[in-house]
């Protein structure tokens, strides 16, 4: 499956989550044949909260969708192919070839990233509203949804995620309300990689996309995923010294310090107090504990020790 198809398929799964419709991606028919998407209405009638995008306001029981991304033309062959899938699927789910489910239970949709110029010269596209056209080809009515011409509003945000217009994509990234975090993370990651792969030249650059999309999904990433690829010094930027050391054992905090650095800023009179195992000098040999001290400071320590020994 072409990557854009997989990405839109997962986005449709998210859009119809917790509604009366289920979505199947690459629905296997027979021969084998693969329909891009099949949206099937369930028995539960409580789906009043679902606001459908332009062109899909009146879904039927069985809704067959095909999608053509930027690099794919929506032409007459693609339309004929969708009709053939409809014919085959209708036969499969009907009780028998003689008792076919009524065609009123089916709707066909062609979703195209850009306007199908070639198709418009081959057949008559009847405008229904901005970005939505009806195509009467044979006896099967087909809805054509052109993403590039859809109004920029909340209900169309799902399709504008796949727009080639930078302002529409930016709007969609901010406006589409994801229902499932796992799908959101998948779609964002795949879209970013696909834009890089196809090297799509837009004023809305890949870096813009990365900032607006990848960074917005940081809360879905694990700590390890967020820090992956960062240098140790970058991981510590912005942290207070006490935050950097939080959770470390005293001996771990001192690793890498020279003996003389451990004693910096300490008065000789205080060294004996630090001499306890739990403090800064833990793990050092006696000779290392005196490194960096001036001779007179060492002499002072000796006198203090002698006095303490005599007092005992």
Model pLDDT for residues 291-304, shown as the tens digit of each residue = 667 777 777 777 77
Work out the average pLDDT over 118-145: 91
> Is residue 157 pLDDT above 70, yes or no?
yes
H runs (alpha helix) in 51-177: 76-93, 117-122, 157-160, 166-175
> Is residue 180 pLDDT above 80, yes or no?
yes
Model pLDDT for residues 199-226, shown as the tens digit of each residue = 655 444 445 555 655 555 556 566 676 6
Q: Tokens 């062959």 map to which residue?
A: 77
CB within 8 A of 277, min separation 6: which ones? none
Which pLDDT value is given to residue 27?
A: 81
Q: How far is CA 140 from the centre of its chain?
A: 37
Tell how strand 21-28 and strand 125-129 pair up: unpaired
> Is residue 274 pLDDT above 50, yes or no?
no
Which pLDDT value is given to residue 147?
A: 96
| Helix or strand (DSSP H, E) at 287 | helix 286-289
> Is residue 243 pLDDT above 70, yes or no?
no
Cα separation, 143 vs 100, whole angstroms: 22
Contact 100, 90 (CB under 8 A): yes
Work out the average pLDDT over 84-102: 92
For the chain, the farthest-separated pair of C-alpha atoms sits apart, in whole angstroms, at: 114
Q: Centre a 10 Å sphere on the Cβ of residue 180 and count the other Cβ atoms it contains.
A: 15
Name the most confidently modeled range: 23-27, 73-77, 276-280: 73-77
> Is residue 278 pLDDT above 50, yes or no?
no
Work out the average pLDDT over 230-259: 65
**Please, which residues bridge with residue 106 across strands?**
62
Work out the average pLDDT over 77-85: 93
Percent of the chain predicted with pLDDT > 90: 35
- Pick 193 or 10 by higher pLDDT: 10
* Confidence at 284, pLDDT banded by 50, 70, 90: low
Q: Tokens 């209405």 map to which residue?
A: 41
| Helix or strand (DSSP H, E) at 27 | strand 21-28
| Helix or strand (DSSP H, E) at 110 | strand 106-112
Which pLDDT value is given to residue 192?
A: 77
Three-state DSSP state, 299: helix
* Confidence at 262, pLDDT banded by 50, 70, 90: low
C-alpha dihedral sign at 206, 207, 209, 210: positive
* Confidence at 13, pLDDT banded by 50, 70, 90: very high
């Amino acid at each position: 499956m072409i990557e854009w198809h997989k990405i839109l398929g997962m986005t449709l799964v998210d859009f119809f989550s917790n509604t009366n419709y289920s979505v199947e991606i690459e629905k296997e028919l027979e021969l084998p044949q693969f329909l891009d998407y099949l949206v099937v209405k369930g028995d539960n009638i409580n789906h009043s909260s679902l606001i459908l995008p332009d062109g899909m306001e009146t879904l039927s029981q069985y809704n067959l969708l095909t999608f053509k991304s930027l690099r794919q033309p929506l032409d007459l062959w693609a339309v004929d192919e969708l009709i053939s899938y409809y014919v085959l699927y209708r036969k499969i789910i009907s009780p028998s070839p003689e008792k076919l489910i009524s065609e009123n239970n089916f709707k066909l949709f062609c979703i195209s990233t850009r306007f199908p110029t070639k198709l418009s010269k081959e057949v008559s596209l009847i405008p229904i509203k901005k970005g939505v056209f009806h195509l009467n080809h044979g006896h099967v009515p087909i809805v054509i949804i052109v993403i590039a011409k859809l109004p920029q509003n909340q209900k169309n945000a799902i399709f504008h995620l796949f727009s080639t217009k930078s302002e529409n994509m930016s709007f969609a990234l901010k406006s589409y309300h994801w229902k499932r975090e796992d799908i959101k993370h998948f779609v964002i990651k795949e879209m970013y990689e696909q834009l890089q792969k196809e090297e799509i030249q837009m004023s809305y650059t890949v870096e813009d996309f990365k900032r607006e999309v990848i960074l917005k999904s940081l809360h879905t990433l694990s700590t390890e995923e967020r820090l992956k690829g960062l240098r140790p010094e970058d991981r510590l930027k912005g942290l207070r010294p006490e935050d950097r050391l939080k959770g470390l054992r005293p001996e771990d905090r001192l690793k890498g310090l020279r003996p003389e650095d451990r004693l910096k800023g300490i008065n000789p009179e205080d060294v004996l107090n630090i001499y306890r195992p739990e403090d800064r000098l833990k793990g050092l040999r006696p000779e290392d504990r005196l490194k960096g001290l001036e001779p007179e400071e060492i002499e002072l320590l000796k006198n203090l020790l002698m006095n303490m020994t005599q007092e005992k």
